[in-house]
Structure 1
Amino acid sequence: MRTSSTLYFPRDPFREFESLFRQAFTPAEPMDSAFSPAAEAHRDGDDAVIRIELPGVDVANDVSVEVLGRDLVVSGERRDERAEESEGRRLQEIRYGSFRRVFNLGRAVNADSISASYDAGVLTIRVAGVYAEVSGQRIAITTPVSGSVESGATEHPAVEQAAS
């Protein structure tokens, strides 16, 4: 009879992706007048791809992409650089101000696996390998009798000689 007390919880990539997707469409700070750029996230093989609409934003100077543990944080500001009008009315439907979007990646990633590009008003961020399965690695166990043995092996030189 074999008993096991394994604490292995299998990864559910669909649940992780759903969490990432839900996070992409949830404003970081739910304020009616805050600027919160539209975003979408999808899986591309083992990579996560996040697209954020930032037309009219100077991404080189006003946008920051950082990885903090399991979170990808995109923050920045859309500046209103127009001169104020002194006469008449002004219709303003474009929102300005600071923004911060946080995307939970499900696991910690190295910043070297993240790339970002900006084209036609859309910031595209690719997190390479975030959905890749982590392979297990066998750990050697040291015993006082035989030195180093692979986990699960039961080799003892003294026992082998006695059996011969």
Structure 2
Amino acid sequence: GRDFPAKLRGEWPVAPAMDLAEKAAAYEITAELPGIDEKNVDIKLANNVRTIKGEKKEEKEEKEKDYYLSERRYGCFQRSFRLPEGVNADKIDASFTKGI
């Protein structure tokens, strides 16, 4: 009859925090993707919609004298943003540094 926290029930939300900013001469989307490898992030532009998607895989294993713990967490996310009129798609670029 105990209610375990979501983390222990196998539920694992993977919805990264994202900031949208309008700068003087550009728009900027920043995504916080801690623990996600750059090779697991895909960024595309189609029909004036920027889509950022990725997958996080985490495995943890602890072996001690009196216990053994093994956890696996997997999750996918996808976020899409319609670009404002007048955005020059040829000048869009992306970078990935330390999970940002």
TM-score, length basis structure 1 = 0.44
Structure 1's consecutive aligned runs of 4 or more residues displaced over 4 angstroms after TM superposition are 88-91, 108-111
**Whole-angstrom distance in 1 between the partners of 2:81 and 2:70:** 35
Higher share in helix: 1
Corresponding residue to 1:52 among 28, 31, 37: 31
Say whether residues 1:66 and 2:44 are aligned partners: yes
CA deviations 1:87-106 (Å, max 9, x no partner) are 46689xxx741110111113
**Whole-angstrom distance in 1 between the partners of 2:32 and 2:12:** 17
- The alignment yields a C-alpha RMSD, in angstroms, of 2.9
Corresponding residue to 1:80 among 58, 68, 80: 58
TM-score, length basis structure 2 = 0.68
- CA displacement at 1:39 relative to structure 2: 0.4
Identity between Structure 1 and Structure 2 (%): 33
Q: Which 5+ residue runs of structure 2 have no aligned equivalent? A: 1-10
Equivalent position amino acid for 2:48 in 1? R
**Whole-angstrom distance in 2 between the partners of 1:81 and 1:53:** 20
Q: From the CA coordinates, give the structure whose radius of gyration is larger.
A: 1
CA deviations 1:94-143 (Å, max 9, x no partner) are x7411101111134856432111112321xxxxxxxxxxxxxxxxxxxxx
Higher share in strand: 2
Corresponding residue for residue 35 of structure 1: 14
**Whole-angstrom distance in 2 between the partners of 1:36 and 1:96:** 12
Q: Which 5+ residue runs of structure 1 have no aligned equivalent? A: 1-31, 123-164
Higher RCO by CA contacts (8 Å cutoff, separation 6 or greater): 2
